[in-house]
Amino acid sequence: MSTRIIANGTDRQHDDTVIEIKSLSVSYKTESGYVKAVDNVSFSINKGEILGLAGESACGKTTTALSIMRLLGKNAVVDGSIIFDDRDVLQMPEEELRNFRWKRVSLIPQGSMNSLDPVIPVGKQIIEAIQAHGRVSKNEAWQTAGKLLSSVSIHPSRARNYPHEFSGGMKQRAVIAMALALNPALVIADEPTTALDVVVQKQLLLELKKLQRNLGISFLFVSHDLSVIGEVADRVAVMYAGKIVEIGVKEDVLQHPSHPYTQALVNSVPKVYGNRQVLHSIPGNPPTGIWPQGCRFHPRCQYAFDLCKEKEPELEISPTGAYAACHLVSKDLTKNQTDTKQ
Amino acid sequence: MLGIRDGIQEQDSRKVLELRKLKVYFHRRERLLGRKTVIHAVDDVTLTLNQGETLSLVGESGSGKSTLARAVMKLDKPTSGTILFHNKEILKQKKRELKEFRRRVQMIFQDPYESLNPQSTVFTTIIEPRIIHGLVSGGKDERKAMASRLLTMVGLDPSTKLYRYPHELSGGERQRVAIARALSLEPELLIADEPVSMLDVSIRLGILHLLQTLKEQLKLTYLFITHDLGVARYIGTRIAVMYFGQVVEIAETEELINHPMHHYTNLLLSSIPGSEREQPLAAGADVDYSHSAAEPPSGCRFRTRCPNATKKCALVEPILIEITSGHYAACHYPLNESRPTDSISQLEG
Amino acid sequence: MQSVKIVDERRKFSLRRASAVSGILHSRRAQVGFGIITIFGVLALAAPIVAPFSPYMFPAPGRPYSPPGATFLLGTDNLGEDVLSEVIYGGRVSIMVGLIVAFLSTGFGTLVGIISGYYMKTIDEVLMRATDIVLILPPLPLMIILAAYLGPSIQTVILVLTVTAWPSVARVVRSQTLSLRERPFVDSARVAGASDFRIIGRVLFPNLASIIAANAVLMVTAAIVGEAALDFIGLGDISVVSWGTMLYWAQSYAIFNGAWWWVIAPGVCIVLVGLAFVLISVSIENIFNPRLRSV
């Protein structure tokens, strides 16, 4: 019971959990040994909810996303369990996996808008996705393709256009339409707005929220851009060096961050609104490959003290209700003042 | 009927850079049909950059901001117009003048992974410009000392980084090396083309702060190109907004952010995540406006997306004029405190 | 204090470069390749010392068509000359021709390719059309004509092989140059004030080095085989002993006299040396890969 509470970051009921990731760890085999990319990550996504997975490069967010679909290469060693519809995805045999992929959970990979086949009309590419997963007549498939395009605000007649006749935002929406082809319960979107202009980006985020409302689809929205996640997510999980360092309801995590990394990240984004700020940069670099001992963020943390160098903190509930993995969170606020040594 | 663009009158401060009616057009031939398309990358831009300021040039992809930077750096040849550096024409320079120009104006590129020669060490990369300009007398020791000093100035430790190759450095470190290289000639004007866009969020501020510090220490002037209004605001003293090859608004930073006058600026501000405003787009307007694909609309280029467009906007190209002190906008019906927009919608020109 | 640290860094840097060179020996293929080349190279260089006889002896040391035995390890040819000695001396010629052709054709082809790719427009058009014309020239008729004018000789062989080989190098280098010149670090050099000369020599060339070297090595194999082919049909200087001319003579005389050793010896040598260069071509490009220079 307690594990589930931690994974969710709230005290809510979990009957409507769509997917639950439990103690997921991923290592990659390289010439010089094993490199851990994801370390004991647990979280769940509820029905009709958008969970934002935030973090910088090499924090493990893309690996986490890909592991849900079991799309990691042969050199990846995956541990833990991913529970969907009472089945563990990581243990599924090929046949079952094929039914799972795209039909129950689909993926919009990074840069996918540029990976559309340039010599095949967009509509046909959507149909291929539909027909690959079941016997559907050509007519039916085209109809479905038309409906899918409408659902992302593209006129169905554009189905016969080629990708180069679509603008960037339209291509991205077409890719989303493809991901929706088989009515999945969960869509994983990996950096879907990164290559888009800000005006188009906002439209796309509105589109996603519309899909969430109308179709009740859950999203795992992976992005390095905290402000984008702030626009679209209901709950937010922040990853650093392979672990989740904070997870909770969006307002709690982004407006009242408990973890120093989240705080620093939120405070390092120059804002257009509000007063002119003086921001503070985070010293050092995000770690790649070799993680520091103890708390992985401690070398860059302004609040670090002795315990931080020795012991890795666990996710614990913070005063805001979010969960944060920080030694400061597990003590009460008054103790913080005396313990902070620098 | 085309409006005529005036030069902007800037009386105060020393003018470091001035662009007058700059046009950079690219000709592309449609292979099968043999039809030539012209891309109006930079279309009739007049702009002034003053000593000691940081002008943030903001625009989305296809707006022409990078092309403008490349034209100033003489990497691309302008189609027409002039570029003046300290009031001297730079487009037709003789060899010596060109070399002098290159010493005084430098550039930082967007992609830290591609702007450093992978075969050169940090040391070679930093000292190379000086060697090219014959500014290193003395032997190896002097060069090493100079390179080390530059590295320290950008926050890197020469004892561990001086002989590294680019692939051994992180993105932020590479960008610092690029900055050190740009500084090695002791320039006075630095053009930064999206220097932090490809860096991790937590690294960006470090680079921005470095640039600010260097600006103060070395008395530099910056032309800072970005698509991110937040960054533009953070680092710029003035902001210029580009749309479809033209400058549509210029003002001091806080003035532009708080009182945008051009509808495109307003659209940008409302699109930024966190904005409570709805995006003011004309009904049925193309959200995904691809500048490079289309021919510019007649009159005001933004009119096809602007909710306030009228007949006049289609006929007369608006001129960049000063609306309030220091605040320029190219719009027939600029947003202004005292003039609510809904009363203008059906006015005849 | 600071300067001492940097000196250490400099020393480490030289060590890293050295280790990169030795690094290319890490692959089994490269080891085999280099091994073979070393053996043949030593034999070729030390021919007068190593070879038991001179291949041009008169009178010949042995009886014609003797099979391999104690005195003549690879038997004798139709004149009674020692085949082993012929193979060793012949190696000098064949390998030398291979190296010279590879060097000249790669050098010239690179020059044309870089200039063509860097300047583009008119220069590119002109150079590429010239290259195309040369590309079409068939080597055999060209060889026959040149042999008629200049007389059949090693020089003529080298000339023909070089002329017919450089266009492919030029194309490869040109296409690499075209893509390299668009990369921002080339803009960066221009912005720093580098002249075209400097950009070509110090920015483009080092980044082309690995592909040029890999191609050059493969070119050696092609040239050795090419030389053998031209000699085999009698277009080379048949009075000089090389692996190709050995095959030329052998084709007329060996078959009817059962002298299989005379055919196999030069053939195996061509195959081995050709193979050796192919094996090292993959590793050669690693010398120029900066990623191998890190600790």
Interface contact flag, A271 B230, Cβ < 8 Å: yes
Q: What is the pLDDT of residue A254?
A: 93
Pick the CATH number of C12-53+81-293 from 3.40.190.10, 3.40.50.150, 1.10.1040.10, 1.10.3720.10: 1.10.3720.10
Chain B interface disruption, residue of A202, A209, A278, most B CBs within 10 A: A202
Partner residue facing C6 (CB), from B102, B129, B158:
B158
Is the torsion defined by CA of C269, C272, C278, C280 positive or negative? negative
Partner residue facing B273 (CB), from A203, A228, A283:
A228
Least confident segment among A162-171, A182-191, B143-152: A162-171
Separation CA C244–CA C265 (nearest Å): 11
Which residues touch B193 (CB under 8 Å, ≥6 apart)?
A: B66, B69, B107, B108, B109, B110, B225
Q: Model confidence over A12-35: pLDDT tens digits?
A: 445 689 999 999 999 998 888 888
pLDDT of B57 strictly over 90 = yes
Beta strands in A85-217 (DSSP E): 87-88, 105-108, 186-190
pLDDT average, residue stretch C140-151: 84
- Phi then psi for residue A182, to 5 deg, are -110, 25
Interface contact flag, C193 B181, Cβ < 8 Å: no
Interface contact flag, B234 A57, Cβ < 8 Å: no
Separation CA C90–CA C47 (nearest Å): 10
CA of B116 to nearest chain C CA: how many angstroms apart?
A: 5
pLDDT of A331 strictly over 70 = no
Taking CB atoms and an 8 Å cutoff, what residues of chain A touch B255? none
pLDDT of B338 strictly over 80 = no
Q: What is the mean pLDDT of chain B?
A: 86
Quickly state the pLDDT bin for A282 (edges 50, 70, 90): confident
Sheet strand arrangement including B327-329: B105-108, B189-193, B221-226, B54-58, B238-243, B246-252, B327-329, B321-324
| A residues 101-160 lying closer than 8 A (beta carbon) to B | none
Q: Model confidence over A51-68: pLDDT tens digits?
A: 999 998 889 999 999 999
Least confident segment among A36-45, A67-76, B30-39, B104-113: B30-39
Instruction: Examine chains A and B and say if they touch (3+ CB pairs below 8 A).
Output: yes
Q: What is the mean pLDDT of chain A?
A: 85
| Residue that the structure tokens 């003018």 belong to | B15
Q: What is the pLDDT of residue C20?
A: 58
Q: What is the pLDDT of residue A232?
A: 94
pLDDT of B285 strictly over 80 = no
Separation CA B25–CA B39 (nearest Å): 5
Evaluate whether A112 touches A120 at the Cβ level (below 8 Å): no
Is the torsion defined by CA of A76, A82, A88, A94 positive or negative? negative
Q: Identify the burial level of B163 via C-beta atoms within 10 angstroms of its C-beta, where 0-12 means exposed, 13-18 middle and 19 or more buried.
A: buried
Q: Which residue of B has its CA nearest to C4?
A: B159
List subunits contacting chain A, requiring 3 or more Cβ pairs under 8 Å.
B
Quickly state the pLDDT bin for A336 (edges 50, 70, 90): very low
Q: Identify the burial level of B201 via C-beta atoms within 10 angstroms of its C-beta, where 0-12 means exposed, 13-18 middle and 19 or more buried.
A: buried
Taking CB atoms and an 8 Å cutoff, what residues of chain B touch A273? 272, 274-275
| A residues 41-70 lying closer than 8 A (beta carbon) to B | 56-57
Distances in Å between the Cα of C267 and the Cα atoms of C75, C225, C232, C270 are 15, 10, 11, 5
pLDDT of B3 strictly over 50 = no
Interface contact flag, B102 C192, Cβ < 8 Å: yes
Interface contact flag, C194 B168, Cβ < 8 Å: no
Separation CA C236–CA B329 (nearest Å): 80
Question: Which has more confidence, C19 or B193?
Answer: B193
Contact B281/C at CB under 8 A? no
Interface contact flag, A268 B205, Cβ < 8 Å: yes
Contact B277/A at CB under 8 A? no
Interface contact flag, A198 B268, Cβ < 8 Å: yes
Q: Which residue of C has its CA nearest to B69?
A: C191
CA of B288 to nearest chain C CA: how many angstroms apart?
A: 28
Beta strands in A135-279 (DSSP E): 186-190, 218-223, 235-240, 243-249
Taking CB atoms and an 8 Å cutoff, what residues of chain B touch A296? none
pLDDT average, residue stretch B274-290: 72
Q: What is the pLDDT of residue B139?
A: 86
Quickly state the pLDDT bin for A144 (edges 50, 70, 90): confident
Q: Mind giving me the DSSP string for C118-135? A: HH-HHHHHHHHHHHHHHH
Q: What is the pLDDT of residue B288?
A: 64
Q: Identify the burial level of A51 via C-beta atoms within 10 angstroms of its C-beta, where 0-12 means exposed, 13-18 middle and 19 or more buried.
A: buried
Q: What is the pLDDT of residue B229?
A: 92
Interface contact flag, B273 A200, Cβ < 8 Å: no
Q: Which residue of C has its CA nearest to B96?
A: C193
Partner residue facing B202 (CB), from A264, A273, A277:
A264
Contact A280/B at CB under 8 A? yes
Q: Model confidence over A181-208: pLDDT tens digits?
A: 888 999 999 999 887 888 888 888 988 9
Contact C188/B at CB under 8 A? yes
Taking CB atoms and an 8 Å cutoff, what residues of chain C touch B98? 193
Distances in Å between the Cα of C23 and the Cα atoms of A6, C27, C282 are 50, 8, 12
Phi-psi region of B310 (alpha: psi -120 to 50; beta: other; left: phi over 0): beta
Contact B116/C at CB under 8 A? yes
Interface contact flag, B148 C293, Cβ < 8 Å: no
- Phi then psi for residue A76, to 5 deg, are -100, 135
Interface contact flag, C185 B117, Cβ < 8 Å: yes
Which CATH number describes the domain made up of B24-333? 3.40.50.300
Question: Which has more confidence, C40 or C29?
Answer: C40
Contact B325/C at CB under 8 A? no
Q: Mind giving me the DSSP string for A167-179? A: -HHHHHHHHHHHH
Q: Where are the domains of chain B?
A: 24-333
Partner residue facing A199 (CB), from B254, B274, B287:
B287
Which one-letter amino acid corresponds to residue C169?
V
Cross-strand partners of B84: B18, B89
Partner residue facing C290 (CB), from B70, B119, B162:
B119
CA of B268 to nearest chain C CA: how many angstroms apart?
A: 29
Q: What is the pLDDT of residue B344?
A: 43
Q: What is the pLDDT of residue B2?
A: 26
Least confident segment among A110-114, B126-130, B254-258, C64-68: A110-114
Name the DSSP class of B336. B
CA of A56 to nearest chain B CA: how many angstroms apart?
A: 6
For residue A40, give the H/E element and its range. Answer: strand A33-46
Count of alpha carbons within 13 angstroms of residue A131, beta-carbon side = 14
Q: Which residue of B has its CA nearest to C2?
A: B159
Quickly state the pLDDT bin for A4 (edges 50, 70, 90): very low
B82: its two tokens? 């002039």
Strand A17-30 to strand A76-84: parallel, antiparallel, or no bridges (unpaired)?
antiparallel
Q: Which residue of C has its CA nearest to B181?
A: C192
Q: Which residue of B has its CA nearest to C206?
A: B119
Q: Is A4 helix (H, G, I), strand (E, B) or coil?
A: helix
Chain A interface disruption, residue of B110, B157, B202, B270, most A CBs within 10 A: B202
Total CB pairs under 8 A between chain A and B: 111
In 3D space, the residue among C20, C40, C18 whose CA is nearest the CA of residue C270 turns out to be: C40
Instruction: Examine chains C and A and say if they touch (3+ CB pairs below 8 A).
Output: no
In 3D space, the residue among B245, B214, B232, B237 whose CA is nearest the CA of residue B106 turns out to be: B214
Chain A interface disruption, residue of B30, B288, B306, most A CBs within 10 A: B288
Partner residue facing A273 (CB), from B60, B274, B289:
B274
Interface contact flag, B102 C189, Cβ < 8 Å: no
CA of B129 to nearest chain C CA: how many angstroms apart?
A: 5
Q: What is the pLDDT of residue B5?
A: 31
| Structural domains in chain A, sorted by start | 2-104+184-279 (3.40.50.300), 114-183 (no CATH)
Taking CB atoms and an 8 Å cutoff, what residues of chain B touch A301? none
Separation CA C163–CA C131 (nearest Å): 10
Q: What is the pLDDT of residue A288?
A: 76
Q: Model confidence over C107-121: pLDDT tens digits?
A: 999 999 999 999 988
Taking CB atoms and an 8 Å cutoff, what residues of chain C touch B165? 290-291, 293-294
Separation CA A216–CA C15 (nearest Å): 61
Interface contact flag, B168 C294, Cβ < 8 Å: yes
Separation CA B221–CA B323 (nearest Å): 26
Q: Mind giving me the DSSP string for C140-167? A: HHHHHHHHHHH-SSHHHHHHHHHHHHHH
Separation CA B293–CA A199 (nearest Å): 17
Question: Which has more confidence, A342 or C280?
Answer: C280
| A residues 225-254 lying closer than 8 A (beta carbon) to B | 225-228, 230-231
Maximum pairwise Cα distance, chain B: 73
Contact B204/A at CB under 8 A? yes
Q: Where are the domains of chain C?
A: 12-53+81-293
pLDDT of B297 strictly over 90 = no
CA of B139 to nearest chain A CA: how many angstroms apart?
A: 34
Interface contact flag, B118 C185, Cβ < 8 Å: yes
Contact B203/C at CB under 8 A? no
Q: Mind giving me the DSSP string for A189-206? A: EESTTTTS-HHHHHHHHH
pLDDT of B192 strictly over 90 = yes
Least confident segment among A125-129, A271-275, B63-67, B259-263: A271-275
